[in-house]
Homo-oligomer: A and B are copies of this chain.
């Protein structure tokens, strides 16, 4: 399946399953509504998976990696080489997302969508390089349109492959790409209509001068390419990223399969802006994991109408915020399925 075929194949949430799930919540041995967001999450999962008894046992983490030509402009305190170094760290199990995947008993695969280095063969790494890093968006397009489409399709294939190999009740999407808050901010500006100033942040740790430089670079890129949000693929090609395109493709594919996507932070949400521009119904399949400490993430979530589960001041990326939030989702799902009803437990209900 190609990304473009999926745009019209994303089903509506299953309203009947949601009604059944909401009814079940009312019968569980607790005051109605007393589990707060956890009840809403369980009902949402029911609508996504089209069953009143959803499950989140088979967990897949996919981390998309790519490099960014715009690092030449000094927009990150880390050198581009760190992208490849961190991919190796993922594979060896030492990165934050590796630790969280073990904790969650999830399968973790890294997808090389465009790292500017030759990575070794490894069972946890899928090499699907579209090109070696993007162009420097301050001076040239990030990629050609065909490359953006190919990167979207990398995301689609990754979801299909992971589902075939491991099954997939829930998907955590993460990314690695030194410099990628810069294209993510550009995408956010295009799709939310907010000024760069309100969206831009310090990324991995820029100082004031670096932040001002990054903002100017993004504004220059937008002025140069004049991306039109009505053509999301063109926007991706102009100011996006290879791993960001793959994330957007993966969101389309997961939604088409009725798999909930745990939404991570700034970069993943930029990808969600692309995915929902391509197919608005994707939004219904996103579970917003957390609000990042990075710049305008809250504005991006608000644009999508999503209220994050967690606000823990995280800004690491890799899918880490989504991975932590997955614990909340699992708790919600287990409570929904495993709690006794008033009738089963012989507990008196509230007096009218």
Contacts and interface: CB of A to CB of B under 8 A. Distances in A.
Interface residues on A, range: 35 or more
A328 B324 contact: yes
Q: How many copies does the complex hold?
A: 2
A348 B85 contact: yes
Interface stretch (A99-107, A236-244, A274-282): A99-107
A38 interface: yes
Nearest to A349: B78
A82 to B, nearest CB: 5
B315 A94 contact: no
Interface string A314-352: 111000100110011011001100111000111111110
A347 to B, nearest CB: 4
Contact of A36 (B31, B293, B328): B293
Contact of A314 (B29, B35, B203, B334): B35
Given A204-B350, A314-B35, A351-B79, A94 B334 contact: no
A348 B88 CA distance: 12
Interface stretch (A146-154, A183-191, A213-221, A304-312): A304-312
Interface of A: 28-38, 77-79, 81-82, 85-86, 88-89, 92-96, 99-100, 102-103, 203-205, 293, 309-316, 320, 323-324, 327-328, 330-331, 334-335, 338-340, 344-351
